[in-house]
């Protein structure tokens, strides 16, 4: 049996905290897509940790953590992260497994990401510059190197071939930066990979399922950044939705039971691209300040806005969300008034769907206002004790989406979560 935890918005919904909270109920925690563009924040014994490559179940002893085939692996980041978790007393070598089919992010992928973004100028995606796009391009273009290739004697000659190809591309961008330091780090880091449990991920995970073990698939990014269904071209390069669990781990769709969709009580986006409910005013500024909305991977300020029920409805549909987990509700504690977006006004007409593209049309959010609860909820642990105005807000969202909000997160701590 497999359950999924994934983001319903533009990433950073709080997936890391939620996976860490749910992990004790599962045997295997598996990342199925994305790479070091992800930044999943956890608080372990009060200490903040940001994970980019390692699944967020790593701090639970005896839980297997798998980096699936759908992930693009940054060995340099992985090495640093392993050192970090080891310093916190975790024997990562015991419980961390890597699929041999996961593609490697090469130093030239990072350079190509940077060169491509520079060339785009004002139209840049706002990529995290971790090499994600170029690595997935090489995967679908059938060029890339996979973790399993490391064990092959021909690895270096394959690497040199791809590097040459990339160099020609970099030359066409007139990219001049010296990447030899990145290469040194890369070769040092892939040595560490050889010591890992490199497995055939699809047999590995299906054997576990066969034995009755419970698997939790951990998504990165969010549904609105999905390569097919997100706000293209301002998206990431992987399938961030529940369908990505099947291709990213080798799991059949019937094996998936619950799809937990994580959404903030408001909305954020980092990087460029459409964001219908964005607040370019003091309220947006206030939410950024109270919510510490700065990227966990790049430190960039996150754009903030009201919760967007049109986009959430769409995300629930394409993912088959069974339960919603609403995070960062406490960030709205002091606001006198809240808004939710119930429709898009596109060229003067009200629409309740996400359009093909949002950049060439005039799109305004239709907002419904709610009175804020203006109560500190961070120490509350029972649904009954939550302020009525908050219940009204959540009830409305429940009814609109026709999917229940089952968990309410009211702080970054592991224990700050309320069952609705
Ligand atoms: P992820 O990428 O989805 O794992 O989310 P990030 O870690 O990038 O960003 C979420 C941020 O919000 C982190 O700093 C979390 O510690 C924090 N966080 C998660 N849930 C809550 C919550 O309910 N309340 C507050 N105040 N912070 C939260
Ligand atoms: P987590 O897992 C928020 C955004 C980038 C950029 C776009 C493409 O922490 O939620 P990429 O580097 O993938 O080519 O960037 O996607 N992005 C994220 N935004 N959270 C993330 O991950 C993100 N991963 C990528 O900012 O707009
Ligand atoms: Mg994040």
| Tens-place pLDDT, residues 187-207 | 999 999 988 999 999 999 999
Q: What is the pLDDT of residue 179?
A: 95
Terminal CA-CA length for the chain? 24
Q: How many CB atoms lie within 10 A of CB 127?
A: 22
Phi first, then psi: give them for residue 330, nearest 5 degrees: -65, -25
Interval between CA 38 and ligand 1 midpoint (Å)? 13
pLDDT of residue 296: 81
Nearest of 360, 370, 368 to residue 392 by alpha carbon: 370
pLDDT over threshold 90, residue 362: no
Q: Is the CB of 327 under 6 A from ligand 1?
A: yes
pLDDT tens readout for residues 261-307: 999 999 999 999 999 999 999 999 999 999 999 988 888 999 999 99
Give the pLDDT confidence score for residue 375 in this predicted structure.
98
Q: Which of 41, 330, 417 for a ligand 1 pocket mutation test, highest count of atoms within 8 Å of Cβ?
A: 41
d(CA 76, CA 193): 10
* Cα 35 to ligand 2 centre (Å): 10
Tell me how crowded residue 322 is: count the other CB atoms within 10 A of its CB.
17
Nearest ligand 1 atom to the CA of 16 is 4
* Measured distance CA(318)–CA(223) in Å, rounded: 9
pLDDT recorded at residue 298: 85
Mean pLDDT of the chain: 97
What ranges in 121-227 are assigned the alpha helix state H?
A: 132-140, 155-172, 180-193, 201-210
Q: Whose CA is nearest to atom 6 of ligand 1?
A: 12
What average pLDDT score do residues 340-368 get? 94
Which of 6, 14, 2 is CA-nearest to residue 268? 14
Structure tokens at 415: 């224990």
pTM summary value: 0.97
Instruction: Give catalytic residue positions.
Output: 12, 40
> Which amino acid residue places its CA nearest to atom 27 of ligand 2?
271
The residue whose C-alpha atom lies closest to atom 15 belonging to ligand 2 is 127
pLDDT confidence bin for 360, thresholds 50/70/90: confident
Yes or no: domain 264-419 corresponds to CATH 3.90.170.10:
yes
Residue-level pLDDT at 295: 87
Q: How far is the CA of 267 from the centre of ligand 2 (A)?
A: 14
pLDDT band at 310 (very low <50, low <70, confident <90, very high): very high
Residue whose token pair is 């092959």: 152
Q: What is the pLDDT of residue 361?
A: 87
Whether the CB-CB separation of 59 and 20 falls below 8 Å is answered with: yes
Domain 2-99+199-260: which topology? Adenylosuccinate Synthetase; Chain A, domain 1 (3.40.440)
| Ligand nearest the Cα atom of residue 408 | 1
Residue of 81, 127, 129 best suited for mutating to test ligand 2, as the one with most atoms within 8 Å of CB: 127
User: Minimal CA–CA distance to 256: which of 296, 307, 205?
Assistant: 205
Secondary structure (DSSP) of 28-56:
EEEE-SB-TT--EEEEETTEEEEESSS-T
Ligand 2 near 224 CB (within 6 A): no
pLDDT at 359: 85
72 C-beta closer than 6 A to ligand 2: no
Report pLDDT digits (tens) over 229-241. Answer: 999 999 999 999 9
Assign domain 103-193 to its CATH superfamily: Adenylosuccinate Synthetase, subunit A, domain 2 (1.10.300.10)
Non-local (6+) Cβ contacts of 320 within 8 A are 242, 259
Could you tell me how many residues make up the chain? Answer: 420
pLDDT tens, residue by residue, 91-125: 999 999 999 999 999 999 999 999 999 999 999 99
- The pLDDT value recorded for residue 336 is 98
Residues with CB under 5 A from ligand 3 (ion): 12, 39, 296
Angstrom distance (rounded) from CA 378 to CA 331: 9
Establish how many alpha carbons lie within 13 A of residue 240's alpha carbon, considering only the half-sphere containing its beta carbon: 31
Domain residue spans in the chain? Answer: 2-99+199-260, 103-193, 264-419
The CB of 221 under 6 Å from ligand 1? The reply is: no
- Ligand 1 touching residue 110 (CB < 6 A): no
Q: How far apart are CA 328 and CA 212, in angstroms?
A: 34
Task: Please tell me if the CB atom of residue 409 comes closer than 6 angstroms to any atom of ligand 1.
Answer: yes
Mean pLDDT of 116-137: 96
CB 296 less than 6 A from any atom of ligand 1: yes
């Amino acid at each position: 049996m497999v359950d999924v935890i994934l983001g319903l918005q533009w990433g950073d919904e709080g997936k890391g905290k939620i996976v860490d909270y749910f992990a004790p109920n599962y045997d295997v925690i598996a990342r199925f897509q994305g790479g070091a563009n992800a930044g999943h924040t956890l608080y372990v014994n009060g200490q903040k940790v940001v994970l980019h490559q390692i699944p967020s179940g790593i701090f639970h002893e005896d839980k297997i953590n798998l980096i699936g085939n759908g992930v693009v692996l940054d060995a340099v980041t992985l090495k640093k992260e392993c050192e970090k978790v080891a310093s916190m007393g975790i024997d990562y070598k015991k419980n961390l497994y890597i699929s041999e089919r996961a593609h490697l992010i090469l130093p030239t992928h990072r350079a190509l990401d940077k060169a491509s973004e520079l060339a785009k100028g004002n139209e840049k995606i706002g990529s995290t510059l971790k090499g994600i796009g170029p690595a997935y391009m090489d995967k679908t273009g059938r060029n890339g190197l996979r973790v399993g290739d490391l064990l092959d004697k021909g690895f270096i000659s394959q690497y040199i071939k791809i590097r040459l190809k990339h160099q020609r591309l970099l030359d066409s961008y007139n990219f001049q930066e010296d990447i030899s330091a990145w290469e040194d780090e890369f070769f040092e880091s892939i040595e560490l990979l050889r010591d890992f449990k490199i497995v055939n991920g699809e047999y590995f995970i299906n054997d576990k399922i066969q034995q009755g073990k419970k698997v939790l698939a951990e998504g990165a990014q969010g549904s609105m950044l999905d390569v097919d269904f997100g706000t293209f071209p301002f998206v990431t390069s992987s399938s961030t939705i529940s369908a990505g669990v099947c291709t990213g781990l080798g799991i059949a769709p019937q094996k998936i039971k619950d799809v937990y969709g994580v959404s903030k009580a408001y909305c954020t986006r980092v990087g460029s691209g459409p964001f219908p409910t964005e607040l370019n005013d003091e309220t947006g500024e206030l939410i950024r300040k109270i919510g510490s909305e700065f990227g966990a991977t790049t430190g960039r300020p996150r754009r903030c806005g009201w919760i967007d029920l049109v986009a959430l409805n769409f995300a629930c549909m394409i993912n088959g969300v069974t339960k919603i987990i609403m995070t960062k509700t406490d960030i709205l504690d002091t606001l006198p008034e809240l808004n939710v977006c119930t429709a898009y006004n596109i060229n003067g007409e009200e629409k309740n769907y996400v359009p093909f593209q949002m950049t060439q049309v005039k799109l305004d959010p239709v907002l419904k206002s709610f009175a804020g609860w203006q109560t500190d909820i961070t120490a509350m642990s029972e649904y009954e004790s939550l302020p009525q105005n908050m219940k009204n807000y959540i009830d409305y969202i429940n009814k609109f989406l026709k999917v229940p909000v089952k968990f309410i997160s009211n702080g970054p701590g592991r224990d700050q979560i309320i069952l609705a």
